[in-house]
Chain A
Amino acid sequence: MKNKRYAIVLDTKRCIDCKACTVACKAENDVPVGRDNYRNWVDEEKLRGTYPNLGQSFTPSQCQHCANPPCAHVCPTKATVVSPDGIVHVIADKCIGCKYCQTACPYNARYYNEVIAAVDKCTFCSHRVYAGGMPACVETCPTKVRVFGDINDPNSEVSRLLAKNPSRVLKVAQGTKPHLFYLT
């Protein structure tokens, strides 16, 4: 049997920028309070048009769990590792806090967590996933922007969504092969 390969598919048209995902993640993962401390976020894209013809989109995001993660390449001590299921993890004890991974990540997905004394980032809530649950951001989302699942399972909802709809990834030119897919 093939390995699982976890991914998130997002339908940003549904996103109302309520930040439920951000707070759920903070609580679930004991992310310390503070401006810089968050594992996921919702970006308010630039306002389009001029008054009164305006438009705006909101883009929720987090670690892209890249198949070619620059953060893992640059880490001098292999503190960033990739699980067989594609989840990119930080081994806190090995992190020297050089923040090279923070400069290497094109998504600004990492921050330095003073409490665990290491760089920290989204883990797809692997502790919940391995226990049969969903990542906190996925579960809590009011409008269900995010769908989480195994893209190696052709019958999973993520696979079906990606088959049925065109999608894009962020900064494709970086060659990072992200695993957050945005429906277009």
Chain B
Amino acid sequence: MHPIFQHRPSRKLWFGLLSAGVVIGIIGALNVLINGHAHVYNVTREIPWGILIATYVFLVVSSTGLCLVSSLGHVFGIEKFEFIGKRAIILAIITLLCGFGTIGMEINHPIRLGIYAIISPNFSSAIWWMGTLYGLYLVLLSGELYFLMKGMHKGAFALGMAGFIAAISAHSNLGAVFGLLEARPFWYGSFLPIYFILSALVSGGAIVSMIVYFNHKESGTPMPQKYEDFMGTLGKLQALFLTILIFFVIWKIIPAVYGHPPEKFEATMATLTGPLAFNFWFFEVLLGMLIPVVILLNPRTRTPGGVMWAGLLSTFGIFFMRFDLVVAGQLVSMREGAADLTNGLLSYVPSITELAIVIGAISLCLFLYTLAEHLLPLDVEEDH
């Protein structure tokens, strides 16, 4: 039995669940390949981007976040963070690949993308830059992992530095994919590229807290002091990130409702009081931010378990942040007279196939990571 999940759930059950998730995802993907996007997805002419784009964003934000948090160790030299390097990088690679897989299911011709992004590049396209920078980022991460596995610290540092820059560039560019759309006032502007960097830190911290916690839950023995200290520090850092995030959210909302700026106001109200309100208040605000902040600010609950729980809840909340962000930006019709409006808004509910692919992508992430834990030597040599 692999140490990570010795107690609960059993590894068999864990792998069973993840395999089931992956199979669901494969069935979903086959459904798309057989029947075509239009017939199995609920995205429409008016809302062309759905939960798959949101999941892609979620996964690559996670990847970026993992890279940024791990770089605190091997790039910025904060020793406490060094031991998470390999795990963070390998999960960063996995989430990135699963993210690519998800967006590959959303876009209709991923192969054409490979060809024409090279022979017919459009340098004014944020998606082109995003793809290119994430491609570069993937190469750098892979190199970094290689050096880390080989224990080549100088190389790891150099690639880590480059990876850090690539991560920030790629990720803020992902924000720009939305932020450069003048047609969508809810997204438009410099806010999203910056916000994405911050939210990546929150994502990364949250996931790292879970990695460390579960990784050392394994032995059944008490957590070593070193890790407990790390969790405490990470918890404080997370509290800081989350508090800043809360202010980002507040300041995203206030200008959007203050003077009722056209379209931006309606989209924001859709998240505050409209169709996305439950997602927003319950998942984003309560689960994603408030409860974790309360856990993390209180020294009594800032235990390794508490930090992990805060991370788990944040991660959950962040998924809804991505979904709501992607959907809200499209809920306001580009045409006043468009049909099928409910209370003046368009509507989008993911289809079963879309959900299946999301389940598949996330299951695959966890599956691959568990496998990596099992097969690769990820523990840092104590002599370092």
Contacts and interface: CB of A to CB of B under 8 A. Distances in A.
Nearest to A17: B337
Q: Which 3 A-B pairs have the closest CB atoms?
A: A97-B108, A43-B337, A77-B116
> Per DSSP, are chain A's interface residues mostly helix, strand or loop, or mixed?
loop
Given A43-B338, A96-B108, A104-B183, A73 B125 contact: yes
B177 A100 contact: yes
A114 B38 contact: yes
A86 interface: no
Interface of B: 36-38, 43-46, 48-49, 106-110, 112-113, 116-117, 120-122, 124-128, 131, 177, 180-184, 329-330, 333-338
B333 A76 contact: no
Nearest to B110: A96
Given A70-B183, A78-B121, A105 B334 contact: yes
Contacts of B128: 76-77
Given A76-B131, A100-B177, A103-B48, A70 B182 contact: yes
A35 B44 CA distance: 9
Contact of B127 (A94, A98, A111, A114): A98
Nearest to A109: B334
Given A79-B116, A117-B109, A102 B48 contact: yes
Interface of A: 34-37, 41-46, 58-59, 61, 70, 73-79, 93-100, 102-108, 110-112, 114, 117-118, 174-175
Given A94-B116, A94-B120, A96-B110, A74 B180 contact: yes
Contacts of B335: 41, 43, 61, 107-108
B337 A104 contact: no
Contact of B122 (A76, A106, A107, A110): A76
Given A96-B113, A100-B177, A105-B183, A112 B38 contact: yes
A99 B127 contact: no
A107 B336 CA distance: 10
B114 to A, nearest CB: 9
Contacts of A174: 182-183
Contacts of A58: 337
B183 A103 contact: yes
Given A78-B120, A94-B120, A95-B112, 5 more contacts: A35-B44, A45-B337, A77-B121, A96-B113, A175-B182
Contacts of A108: 45-46, 333-335, 338
Contacts of A78: 116, 120-122
A103 B108 CA distance: 15
Contacts of A114: 36-38
A74 B181 CA distance: 9
Contacts of A106: 182-183, 334
Contacts of B131: 76
Given A34-B38, A97-B107, A102-B48, A77 B117 contact: yes
Contacts of A117: 108-109
Contact of A96 (B112, B182, B184, B334): B112
A179 to B, nearest CB: 17
B127 A76 contact: yes
A100 B120 CA distance: 16
Contact of A76 (B36, B117, B336): B117
A73 B124 contact: yes
